[in-house]
Amino acid sequence: MRILSWNINSVRLRQRALARLLRSEQPDVVCLQETKVPDELFPLERFRALGYRYSLISGQKGYHGVAILSRVPLRGSCAQTWCDSTDRRHVHTILPGGIELHNVYAPAGGDLPDPSRNPKFAHKLRFFEEMSRWFGQRGVRGGKGVLVGDLNIAPLPNDVWSHRQLRRIVTHTEVEIEHLSRLMASVGWVDGLRRFVPDSEKLYTWWSYRASDWKRANKGRRLDHAWVTPRLSDRLEEAVVLERVRGWRVPSDHAPIRLTFSSTVRSRAPLRR
């Protein structure tokens, strides 16, 4: 099974790029964040024509929004809400084989990393607190789970272009990293990307639009994540960032992540968390 996750930053604006990605990568499932469109205006027919007959969409006008498009049946689909908000940020469903798939778009948190002075940052921390508590109480049914999405936190020093310059900047502050760590610990999630790329190496999924030459400047951050439960970790064949997509015409500022699972357990090096 192959799963893609992508913060598309407007599915209508980038529907041509998404169709190109689906044709080139042929994923079984694609999870999208920041679709920025109400459900009735989501361009579903274009993707159904490519074989993605099953869908779970939770959108709103102009902001946020998450969606799952699939060539395989989805079962028990649910849109989850957090912080007494109607924002569309989390959907989950069951894939064939009993794999519970979560697609999440976490709040960005604004610019000031002070919850007493910045309501957006306070909201972000509360979002992670509620998610951690929910997963901790509920777990993942059957122990087979995948969580993907834009979590808007770069936890490791090499998940940002400069740990020294960004450690007091939103997405890389100590308090955010602590909240992300609690979410990971809630069901023992395994960091899929860092299982294949050592912590000592730089790894990014997002590059700002502000850079005139994003690739040359390479001032990136790893804001997008792909986690699996321990029961699935030995079936994970690869987890890679499709960096080339960031350079496509009319790009999102995020690059997609590709996960590939084998049907059988394979021996691997020790897990990196």
Domain boundaries along the sequence of the chain: 2-261
pTM attached to this predicted model:
0.95
Quote helix, strand, coil % in the chain, to nearest 5.
30, 25, 45
Tell me the β-bridge partners of 106.
none
| Residue range 212-245, pLDDT digits in tens | 899 999 999 999 999 999 999 999 999 999 999 9
**pLDDT tier, 272 (very low <50, low <70, confident <90, very high otherwise):** very low
**pLDDT tier, 146 (very low <50, low <70, confident <90, very high otherwise):** very high
**pLDDT tier, 265 (very low <50, low <70, confident <90, very high otherwise):** low
Positive/negative CA dihedral, 24, 25, 30, 33: negative
Q: Is the model's pLDDT at 163 over the cut of 90?
A: yes
Task: Calculate Rg over the CA atoms of the chain.
Answer: 17
For residue 78, the tally of other CB atoms under 10 A from its CB is: 12
Query: Can you say how many angstroms the Cα of residue 93 is from the centroid of all Cα atoms in its chain?
Result: 15
* 2-261 homologous superfamily: Endonuclease/exonuclease/phosphatase (3.60.10.10)
Q: What pLDDT score was predicted for residue 264?
A: 64
Q: What pLDDT score was predicted for residue 142?
A: 87
For residue 5, the tally of other CB atoms under 10 A from its CB is: 28
| Residue range 43-71, pLDDT digits in tens | 999 999 999 999 999 999 999 999 999 99
| Residue range 11-21, pLDDT digits in tens | 999 999 999 99
Q: What pLDDT score was predicted for residue 21?
A: 98
Q: What pLDDT score was predicted for residue 268?
A: 47
For residue 24, the tally of other CB atoms under 10 A from its CB is: 11
Q: What pLDDT score was predicted for residue 266?
A: 53
Average pLDDT score over residue span 244-257: 97
Q: What pLDDT score was predicted for residue 28?
A: 98
Average pLDDT score over residue span 183-194: 98
**pLDDT tier, 271 (very low <50, low <70, confident <90, very high otherwise):** very low
Q: Is the model's pLDDT at 270 over the cut of 60?
A: no
Q: What pLDDT score was predicted for residue 263?
A: 81
**Dist CA 193 CA 159 (whole Å):** 11
**pLDDT tier, 139 (very low <50, low <70, confident <90, very high otherwise):** very high
